[in-house]
Amino acid sequence: MIAQAQGKGVPKRALPVPPKPTSQDENERASVINNWTIGLAGGLLEGTFVAYAADLGRALDDGDNLRVIPMITYGAVGNVSDLIYLKGVDFAITYADVLDHYKNVLKIPNIEKRVNYVMPMFQGELHIYVRPEINTLEDLRGKKVNFNTVGSAANYTGGIVFDRLGLQVERTYLNNAIALEEMKKGEIAAVIHVVGKPNALFSKINPEPGFKLLPLEFSEKFEDYYVPAELTHADYPNLIPKGQSVSTISVMALLAVFNWSPNVNGDRYRRCVRFIEYLFERFEKLRQPPYQPKWREMNIAGTIPGWTRFPAAQELIDKAHATATSSIDTSLARTQAAKAAPLDPAEQDRLFRQFLEWSKQRR
C-alpha cells in the first residue's frame, strides 16, 4: 500500500488548506484577545524566573482587560535578546549584569535607552556544585565545568566569575539537569547554576556521596554588580549540614521592559503601561500565598545601578511618594536612613524609600 501511494505521487508536504471566510464577530474577537495581551519572557523550566513569570501571569490576569503570557525561554541573557528582537515580547526577567554584556560586548546601540527596568526583584545566587575530589576552586583548573545552556545566567554570570578569577576550565554548555547525570559518571567536575535559592535542581536531588556546594568568597573583583551571599542548611538540607553555610555571591534579578515610544509605538506602549498599573495595584496580592515567598521581600520602588526605570513606572512611584510624604517628616526619615547605613548612599535611599512605602501602606 505504501508503494502504491508513493507511485501516485503523494506530496511530501501537506497542501495548504483554503482559508475559511472569517466573520466580523471572529475579527472582533481576535481584536479583543490581542488588544491587551502581554508577552513576558520567563526562563528555563528548571530556573527560578519562570516561576515568577507564572506568578505575574496569574496575579495580573483580568480576562480581556489584561492577559499575561509567560514564556519558556533561554534565560537571563536570551531574555534581553528576545525583548529587543522577538515579536510579542514586551517584558522580561533578567539579571542586572546582563545589560553590560549587550552594551560592551555585543555593542548594541543605545541599549540602555531601549531596555528599561520596572522594579528590582530578588537576588540570584551563584551555585558551584562539585564532585568529591574537588575541594577548592583551584581544583577545577583544566577540568570540565558545565555552565548550563547558552543564554542562561549560569552561562553569562558564571563565565564572568571564572574569567575574573583567572580560572581556566573546559567549559561545556549542557542543560544542567543533563550535566548532573554526567557528573555522576565522572565526565564533568562541576555544574554552575545562577538562580534564586532554594532551587529545585539542588533541593530535590539525592546527592551522590561526597558531592557538595563549593564556597566562593566575595572580593573587590565582584563589587560592580554582585553582593556577598550564603547558602544555608535551610536552603539545601540535603547538601549543607545543620548550622553550616556556604559563602557565595549573588546578582539582582529585575523586571525589564522594552522602552516603547508612546508616539511611535502607541499600541505596544499602552499595553506596557496597563501591565505596570496592574502590577502596582496588585503588588500586595503577589505578597500573599500561593505566590513565591520572595515577593514579600521585594521593594517595588527600589533602584538598579546602571539601569533606567521605564518612565511610566517612575511616574507611578513618584505619585505614590508624593501622597505618602504629604503627612510624614521626610527629613527625619532621611536622617535615620543615614545613621543606619552611613557609608552606603544606595542603601540609604533604599531604606528611605522602604520607609515611605511602609508609611503609605499604614495610611
Map out the domains of the chain with their CATH numbers: 24-121+253-309 (3.40.190.10), 123-252 (3.40.190.10)
User: Where are any strands of DSSP class E within 170-317?
Assistant: 170-172, 190-195, 212-213, 226-232, 245-258
The Cα–Cα gap between 38 and 296 comes to 24
The letter for the amino acid at 335 is T
> Residues with Cβ < 8 Å from 30, sequence gap 6 or more?
none
Report the 10 Å Cβ neighbour count for 363: 9
pLDDT given for residue 7 in this prediction: 47
Q: Scanning the structure block, which residue is given the C-alpha cell 507564572?
A: 54
pLDDT given for residue 66 in this prediction: 96
pLDDT given for residue 16 in this prediction: 64
Cα within 13 Å of Cα(349), Cβ side? 8
pLDDT given for residue 191 in this prediction: 97
The letter for the amino acid at 168 is Q
pLDDT given for residue 104 in this prediction: 86
Asked if residues 90 and 268 have their Cβ atoms less than 8 Å apart, the reply is yes
The total number of residues shown for the chain amounts to 363
Asked if residues 304 and 313 have their Cβ atoms less than 8 Å apart, the reply is no
Grid cell, residue 237, equals 538540607
Residue from 248, 332, 253, 257 nearest 294 by CA: 253
The Cα–Cα gap between 151 and 100 comes to 14
> Residues with Cβ < 8 Å from 342, sequence gap 6 or more?
none
pLDDT given for residue 68 in this prediction: 97
Q: What is the mean pLDDT of each run of 10 residues along the chain (363 residues)?
A: 46 59 74 89 91 98 96 95 96 95 91 96 96 97 96 92 96 94 96 93 90 97 93 96 96 96 89 97 96 94 93 94 65 68 70 73 54
The Cα–Cα gap between 158 and 214 comes to 13
Alpha helices (H) along the chain:
2-7, 24-35, 49-59, 76-85, 98-100, 111-114, 153-165, 176-184, 200-203, 266-281, 283-286, 311-325, 330-340, 345-362
